[in-house]
Amino acid sequence: MGIALDIAGDWDAALAALAWQVEAGVDEVIADTPVNRYDLAVETKKPAAPQPVPQPVAADPVAAAKAAATAARSLEDLRAALAAYPHCELKKGARNTVFADGNPQARVLVLGEAPGAEEDREGRPFVGRAGQLLDKMFAAIGLSRTSPDAQSALYITNVMPWRPPGNRDPEPAEIAMMLPFVERHIALVDPQVIVVMGNTPLFALTGGKGILRARGNWSEALGKPLLPMTHPAYLLRNPAMKREAWADLLSLQARLR
Ligand code: URA
């Protein structure tokens, strides 16, 4: 039962009216106009206005590489930092992180491009056909990756530690990600001379392109003498270019004397 009253503003009248209503058996309170409680319920259940959610800042792969590489105090640190680096997609398709081979005391550091199928399988750089030619080329001037003697030793690594699918060229963004590791690698080995084999390491260390023009011309990178040479895989396909490669090896030998 309900009775409509208009007693707004008068406290005593309101209290008396309420008492009278209770006495009269009123058991609900109604207004002049009906209220649709279903609409009210919907209104009160309206979702709160969306608040801006702070987005995680996307990691900068090059900055992350710089931080990881700079923190490495030894070659083993660097190897572990590289193996833990999460931003390069090539890693997902690779069996191994191919770090380096040879003697870290070597006067000559050879920088190649990226592992191929055999290197990916074995986890060591330059172990396929191109690698066998590379070993023969340097053996011809008395340098070997297996030599324990720093004078005649060789240290070998690549710009990319992971095999690109189908042996495609590494992309500039992939090279940029790996560059801090390469620079730290070279700083830790501290060779007398760097030999870059092919376009990718030439571009990585000098920004230059065109290995066929650059080969044999000494320049400098990271404060060290740098000799560009044609890649042994190119020499396998173009044996006539071995003459120039031999001239480059003799130039390296002369530099080391
Ligand atoms: N080619 C490279 O540049 N590096 C390797 O390790 C193998 C082939």
Measure 124 CA to ligand 1 centroid, in angstroms. Answer: 9
- Collect contacts of 218-223 with beta carbons under 8 A, ≥24 apart: 218/251, 218/255, 221/194, 222/183, 222/186, 222/187, 222/194
Residue 228 falls inside a structural domain: yes
Q: Which pLDDT score is estimated for 221?
A: 98
For residue 28, report the distance from its CA to the centre of ligand 1, in Å.
89
Q: Could you tell which of 95, 119, 155 is best to mutate to test the pocket of ligand 1, judged by most ligand atoms within 8 Å of the CB?
A: 119
* Any atom of ligand 1 within 6 Å of the Cβ of 202: no
Residue 13 resides in a domain = no
**Which amino acid would we find at residue 37?**
R
Evaluate whether 131 touches 176 at the Cβ level (below 8 Å).
no
Give CA–CA dist 247/180, Å, rounded.
31
Indicate whether 53 belongs to any domain.
no
Query: Among candidates 124, 116, 204, 133, which has minimal Cα distance to 157?
Result: 124
Bridge-based pairing state of the strands 219-221 and 154-158: unpaired
Domain count, the chain: 1
CA of 26 to the centre of ligand 1 (A): 94
Range of the domain at 70: 61-256
Task: Pull the structure tokens for residue 28.
Answer: 């609900």
Asked if residue 115 belongs to a domain, the reply is yes
Cβ of 102 less than 6 Å from ligand 1: no
Question: Residue 64 has which token pair?
Answer: 């992350």
Does any domain span residue 132? yes
Q: Is 194 in the pocket of ligand 1 (CB under 6 A)?
A: no
Cα separation of 56 and 45, whole Å?
Answer: 30
In a domain, 114, yes or no: yes
The band of 14, judged by pLDDT with boundaries at 50, 70 and 90, is: confident
- Note the pLDDT tens digit of each residue in 16-60: 766 666 666 656 566 666 666 666 655 555 667 777 666 555 589
Ligand 1 centroid, distance to 158 Cα (angstroms): 7
- Tell me, what's the pLDDT at 34? 67
Report the CATH number at residue 201.
3.40.470.10
Q: How far is the centre of ligand 1, averaged over its atoms, from the C-alpha of 33 (Å)?
A: 86
162 CB within 6 A, ligand 1: no
Q: Give dist(CA 69, CA 186) in Å, integer.
A: 11
Residue-wise pLDDT for 50-92, tens only, equals 776 665 555 899 999 999 999 999 999 999 999 999 999 999 9
Return the structure tokens found at 152: 């005649």
Element (H, E) at 154: strand 154-158
| Burial class of residue 103, CB neighbours in 10 A (0-12, 13-18, 19+) | buried
Chain segment 92-125, per-residue pLDDT in tens: 999 999 999 999 999 999 999 999 999 999 999 9
Report the distance separating Cα 173 and Cα 160, nearest Å. 12
The first and second tokens of residue 222, run together, are: 């990271």
Please check whether residue 118 lies inside any domain of the structure: yes
Question: Does the Cβ of 85 fall within 6 Å of ligand 1?
Answer: no
Query: Within a domain: residue 3?
Result: no
- At 206-225, the pLDDT tens digits run 999 999 999 999 999 999 99
Q: Ligand 1, residue 130: give the atom nearest the CA.
A: 8
Q: Is the CB of 125 under 6 A from ligand 1?
A: yes
**Does the C-beta of 158 come closer than 6 Å to ligand 1?**
yes
